[in-house]
Structure 1
Amino acid sequence: MDILVFPVSRLSILGIMCLLTQVITDNEDQFTHESFINPVFLPSVTNITVKRGSLAVLPCSIQYLQDKQVVWRFVDEDKFLTIGKKTWFKSDKIILEHLSQDDNITNWDLLIKNTEFKNGGMYECQITSTVDLTEKVQLNVLETTINGDRAIDRGERIYFVCNVTGGPHIPTDITWYKDGRPITSRGFPHAIITKYRSNVNNASITEFIVDRSVFSDTGVYTCKSKTVATVKAKIFLQIGDTVHVKRIPVFEDLKEERRGEFSPAYTSGSLQTPNSCNKLSVSVVIRLLLIIIITTIHR
């Protein structure tokens, strides 16, 4: 068999080599991009504060996860909550929300329903690989309450206590507001505000005190944090004047008594009312009847 050999120029050989080099380079770039690039966590909120009893959403966004797994762990108790898309810790309150986006981005958010104080702490979103890739999220579960009288008389003492409870990460920048406006020493010169921290029950306590209330103190009082929007509580205070209200019935009773009075009648040198006169006339009639009966019998 004869073999045909075509003449190949140096230029053709050079062109083929360039083409092969380009194909190999493209394959290497694609292989490197898809197989050797490490997953990365995208920026997200790492400190979350929620009210007790509400829903907590702990975010975890990853790019280039590829075939690796995502694990959520509660660091404070060293226990796994989810592995991949499955919930490892059996609880109706814990849900994994998975969502795929463009550019090889996936969300692995951990949802905790009806949060309690014990749910607060440090959580960790971890990528299972030879490289230690983790993202920590601090969850703070707080409760804010206001205690105090909702209705008082004018001149009585106003005493409100704002109590923020939940753990070591309680905000201390609590400010008092009246009808949506901050309470300042200039606008409320008669008010006293105290703040202190209780180590017994991990609480931040703020007091609002007015020794002698006035009608203008009526309104909605709110204590809230400037930095954490979920930390707030409100109470409505009504200032009344029941001292005057109590006097009205007494005055009306006096008027009714005066309306029922009659001209006095004098009997035997003593002052008698018409009722006593009526009683006296009845007794006189009875005596007269008795005299008539006795006289008739003797006859």
Structure 2
Amino acid sequence: MSRGADVGLATIVASGNSALHATCHKQPSLTSTLAVCAKGGPEDVEAAYPLAGPTDLTPINSTRLIETLVDGEEEEGEIEDEDAGSLEDERGEDEDMEDLEDEDPYFDALMVPSYTAYLGKTATLTCIVHAAKSDKSVTWLRGRDLRILTVGRYTYTTDLRFEALHQESSSEWTLRIKSVQLRDQGNYECQITTKPIRTFTVFLNVVEPWVEVLGSPDIYVNRASMINLTCVVHHAPYPPEEITWYHGNQSINYTSSRGGVSVVEERGETTTSFLLLQNARASDIGTFTCQPEGMTPATANLHVLEGEHRQAIQTNSSCIRVPSLAAFIIVTAILASCCVVC
């Protein structure tokens, strides 16, 4: 090649390099351009644009990896077992509920067939029903007229003495009767609304208070002996406010002109009044009346004998009630004070 040609070629190459250099500044990201733009060969390219070295990674332990995979499978199996157990429990509960729903209501075998209430007090009749479908499935009726008294927790009578009692989820349905009267005595029916209807009948016995003088109608005592008249009040709804003794038409108490009179009372479910008279005499013969307030009185005829009728006295002595120890001590103290005064 001639010298002129070499100069022309060099000029072309220089011009091309200048254009290419301008291109390098515009597109420095191209690999081909980097290779040409760098001064020199591949070494200069690597020096200008060093490549990142290989990344250091932790070696994988194959044994640990297998254990991890196995543990994961076991946990999944346990979860599946728990889910299966929960499903079985739910199914069991559903089956129990279905069995309970299918079971017919029934009365408890230990229900009481009779109740006793005192006149004026409160009577409570209880009906025990198992597997009841709802709170309204149990009804109380009065036997003599089949009048509906209660349904579930609701009262269906204008007589405010009757009341229905029932707690949710309880098996007891209670009929409560306040201020019991004699007309309330009789049968009451507890019914379950099944097909056919099931009925359990209870009987309410109303006890009326009554009064008696022990040993009546005739009581015999020896002359100059101690007279002990005992009055007992049975089945009162509450102890009477006052018990008054009469001899004939005259009231008797410790202030009576006769003297030697003592009255002792023992109050409780059964109330007792003791009338004690010292030194029985002929003037004591007659009728003695025990009158509890608001109740029917009781009477006894007293006979004072000289001694020829001891057999009659002994026959009636078994009916005479002796006061309790406390009452006896009180009476003794009263009598002693009377003697001192005399």
TM (norm. structure 2) is 0.41
> Larger helix proportion, structure 1 or 2?
2
Structure number with greater Rg is 2
TM (norm. structure 1) is 0.46
> Larger strand proportion, structure 1 or 2?
1
